[in-house]
């Protein structure tokens, strides 16, 4: 297969998404979470973190408890990497998020290749840069503002919780947010506004919010999006207007995957620490 044939890589990723023995029959959601966690370590001020370098290959980052469970996503993608050894892990992980979203009926997202894998762990960002689901709006803002996002983008990105589920043995939380967790939609926003959510301790004693039947769930950070008036305005807009949500999600997710990727003249990513050193 010719180096640089990203369409062929996309096709290979699509083939590993249906997965009868895993979760809701799909590897899609956990691939989206991998792309997000690989990118969401970015710190705008220092230029450190972000998707370039694929630093989650190193134990220090992989073992951040926020990344529990992402070993499944990395393992699902390994055969694709073996098939296309010329693609960097950093490109593969971010492209897999894009392909998974499109595969699950989500919007098309701009994606550019060129990320380079680090060869040692000197640029692994510190643990603790990803959001903590037990917290509220101040925490959410401080984490996402650090990456360079605004309130609208925060709410748009949070709409990814239309996909997948929480696992008691990974995060301590349990259950899916929506009834069809392998189809992208704006149901998450509708449910946030319309359902009665009650706080309860789940089977492993962790506090979360559940619907009346204890089938669907929300994290404390999800509930903060309807408690905070500025966030809530956007939740209402996205619940009402699916096209607006899709457009805003595509823009914000595309921006997320580019965080810290400084490109040279041919589009090849330079190491992100270049910014801090300039
Ligand atoms: C899953 C927290 C934002 C995409 C999860 C889980 C937690 C969590 C606790 C469950 C993990 C598990 O037990 O397997 C948060 C918090 C956020 C946030 C606190 C921000 C305040 C985002 C964003 C995206 C995203 C911005 C993508 C754009 C996902 C996906 C899953 C997930 C797709 C499902 C994974 C699966 O099914 O395995 N998130 N998240 N999340 N998150 Fe988030």
CATH architecture of 7-130+253-277: Orthogonal Bundle (1.10)
Does the structure's ipTM exceed the value 0.85?
Answer: yes
Dig out the tokens for 109 from the structure. 């997202």
Q: Tell me the best of 41, 75, 161, 221 to mutate to test the pocket of ligand 1, counting ligand atoms within 8 Å of each CB and taking the most.
A: 161
3-class DSSP assignment, residue 53: strand
For residue 165, which atom of ligand 1 is closest to its CA?
37
| CB of residue 16 inside a 6 A radius of ligand 1 | no
pLDDT tens digit sequence for 214-237:
999 999 999 999 999 999 999 999
Cα distance between the two ends of the chain: 38
Q: Tell me the best of 33, 129, 175 to mutate to test the pocket of ligand 1, counting ligand atoms within 8 Å of each CB and taking the most.
A: 33
**216-219, Cβ contacts within 8 angstroms, sequence gap of 24 or more:** 216/175, 216/176, 216/177, 216/178, 216/179, 216/191, 217/166, 217/173, 217/174, 217/175, 217/176, 217/177, 218/177, 218/191, 218/192, 219/133, 219/161, 219/166, 219/173
Q: Which fold has domain 137-251?
A: Peroxidase; domain 2 (1.10.420)
pLDDT tens digit sequence for 103-128:
999 999 999 999 999 999 989 999 99
Asked whether the CA dihedral 134, 138, 142, 148 is positive or negative, the reply is: positive
Distance 4 CA to ligand 1 centre (A): 30
**What is the helix (H) or strand (E) element at residue 207, kind and residue range?**
strand 207-210
Q: Is the pLDDT assigned to residue 45 strictly greater than 90? A: yes
Domain extents in the chain = 7-130+253-277, 137-251
Provide the whole-model pTM. 0.97
């Amino acid at each position: 297969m010719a180096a640089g044939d990203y369409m062929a890589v996309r096709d290979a990723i699509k083939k590993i998404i249906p997965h009868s023995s895993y979760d809701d029959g799909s590897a899609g959601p956990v691939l989206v979470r991998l792309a997000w966690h690989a990118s969401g370590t970015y710190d705008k001020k220092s230029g450190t973190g972000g998707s370039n370098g694929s630093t989650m290959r190193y134990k220090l980052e992989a073992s951040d408890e926020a990344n529990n469970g992402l070993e499944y996503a990395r393992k699902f993608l390994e055969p694709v990497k073996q098939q296309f050894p010329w693609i960097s892990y950093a490109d593969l992980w971010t492209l897999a998020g894009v392909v998974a979203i499109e595969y699950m009926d989500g919007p098309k997202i701009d994606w550019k290749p060129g990320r380079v894998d680090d060869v040692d762990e000197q640029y692994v960002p510190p643990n603790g840069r990803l959001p903590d689901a037990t917290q509220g709006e101040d925490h959410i803002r401080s984490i996402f503002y650090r990456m360079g996002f605004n309130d609208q983008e925060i709410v748009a990105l949070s709409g990814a919780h239309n996909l997948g589920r929480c696992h008691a043995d990974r995060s301590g939380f349990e259950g899916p947010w929506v009834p069809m967790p392998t189809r992208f939609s704006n149901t998450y926003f509708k449910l946030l506004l319309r359902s009665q959510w009650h706080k309860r301790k789940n089977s492993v004693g962790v506090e979360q919010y559940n619907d009346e039947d204890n089938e669907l769930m929300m994290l404390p950070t999800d509930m903060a999006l309807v408690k905070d008036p500025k966030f809530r305005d956007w939740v209402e807009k996205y619940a009402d207007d699916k096209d607006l949500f899709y457009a805003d999600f595509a823009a914000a997710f595309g921006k997320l995957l580019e965080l810290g990727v400084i490109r040279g003249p041919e589009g090849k990513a330079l190491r992100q620490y270049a910014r801090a050193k300039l």
